[in-house]
Structure 1
Amino acid sequence: MKKNIVLIGFMGTGKSSVGSKLAMKLNKEFVDMDREIENISGMTVTEIFRRFGELRFRSEESLMAKKLSLRDNLVIATGGGTVLLPENIEVLRQNGIIILLEATAQDIHTRVSRKKGTRPLLKGSYTAEDIQHLLDERKPYYDCADIRVNTSSKDLDAVIEEIINELNQYETLS
């Protein structure tokens, strides 16, 4: 399968960790969109948000989605908000299978709390309820997924195995 595998989902659902290991397992190249944007811009995502605002970052994200959609054989970890612009998903879907990684609001809270200060959309103090509110707002955007995998209470290997099984089923049905 030369098609790209595109991981979407809220921050803290495991897109980067899962993507990196999945790419190794499937002999594909791993690309983390946020890291690519940081490399090209010379700034962290947090710095881009702080200096130029969310609109500028989303613009960079859209350009990156277009650029990556032209390549083959990738596992792409999108930024948490990539799905907010439908054209990003349209362009990534042209050469990719969209996989949603999900987790409970409590698990996300626990995971992102370990990286306080690196999540521009979760400024100050936030709760699992705040995260649930954001998840509820984004639910319509996540409905674009071809495959859904819940990462809560699963180790990385179990998530990878589930994704590979789902991809095999998806390929059979396509």
Structure 2
Amino acid sequence: MSKNIVLCGFMGCGKTSIGKLLAKQTKMNFCDTDIYLEKKYRMKITAIFKQLGEQRFREMEAEVVSEISAKKNMVIACGGGTVLRAENVQIFQESGAIILFLDVPLEVLQERLKNDKKRPLLQKPNRKEIIAALYEERINQYKKAANQNIDASLPADLLAKKIIEDFEL
């Protein structure tokens, strides 16, 4: 396949897990934009947020999106905020990528993220409220960016299989 598959959605929706399964089952290459960014800049995302701020992180993320989109035959798992920037969505679209929004109910995300220690935006005591506010702020942008919304409440292996069948990968 020459087109890239881009998985977007809220943190904890399964982009990386499903992306790895999709890549393996379709013999495509896999890239997690957050891991790629950390390797490229030799800094953990938490350190980038703390030392350089979210704005600089988003600029670095846009550079990563541009680099990865130039490649083909990729399954790309985006960071939770990647498609919130119109320029990132445009880069993906111009590259011919299929953008899939992995839609998971808020309550499920809150449960999955309740003990998460690595996400910079969730490192406050009122985590459940932060997740709800971010979710409400982002949900329509995910839907708008995506070519298709995918109910991601299925187990990862079944969801990967469904995506392969639906998109004839």
Q: Once the 2 structures are TM-superposed, how far is the Cα of residue 131 of structure 1 from its aligned partner? A: 1.9
Q: CA RMSD in A?
A: 1.5
Work out the CA distance in 1 between the residues paired with 2:28 and 2:55.
31
The aligned residue for residue 107 of structure 1 is 108
Structure 1 Cα separation of the partners of residues 130 and 114 of structure 2? 13
Shift of 1:87: 0.7
Aligned-pair CA distance for 1:129: 4.4
Residue 68 of structure 1 contacts residue 92 of structure 1 at CA under 8 Å; is this kept in 2?
no
Take 1:130 and 1:51, find their aligned partners in 2: how far apart are those partners? 22
TM-superposed deviation, 1:128 = 3.9
Contact map agreement 1:38 1:45 (CA 8 A) in 2: yes
Q: Indicate if the aligned counterparts of 1:105 and 1:129 stay in contact, CA closer than 8 A.
A: no
What stretches of structure 2 of length at least 5 have no aligned partner?
Answer: none
Residues 15-26 of structure 1 mapped to structure 2, 5 A cutoff: 15-26=15-26
SS at match of 2:121: coil
* Matches of 1:127 and 1:46, distance apart in 2: 16
Letter of the 1:104 partner, please give it. P
What is the identity, as a one-letter code, of the residue corresponding to 1:67?
Answer: E
State the TM-score, normalizing by the size of structure 1. Answer: 0.90
| C-alpha distance in 1 between matches for 2:9 and 2:76 | 12
Return the alpha-carbon distance in structure 2 between the equivalents of residues 166 and 132 of structure 1.
30
**Structure 2 equivalent of residue 77 of structure 1:** 77
Within 5 A, what are the aligned runs for 1:82-93? 82-93=82-93
Aligned position for 2:44: 44
Aligned to 1:31: 31
Aligned length: 167
Query: Residue in 2 aligned with 1:146?
Result: 147
Q: Secondary structure at the match of 1:6?
A: strand
Q: Write the deviation string for residues 64-116 of structure 1: whole angstroms up to 9, x where unpaired.
A: 01111111000000110001210101101222100001111121122222422
Deviates more, 1:1-10 or 1:157-166: 157-166
Q: One-letter code of the match for 1:101?
A: L
Cα deviations by residue, 1:101-144 (Å, 9 ceiling, x for unpaired): 1111121122222422x011112123444323212211231122
Unaligned 5+ segments in structure 1 are none
Partner of 2:123: 123
Given that 2:114 and 2:127 are in contact with CA atoms closer than 8 Å, whether structure 1 keeps it comes out as: no
Name the structure, 1 or 2, with higher relative contact order (CA <8 Å, separation 6+): 2
TM-score using structure 2 length: 0.92
Partners of 2:115 and 2:159 in 1: CA distance: 21
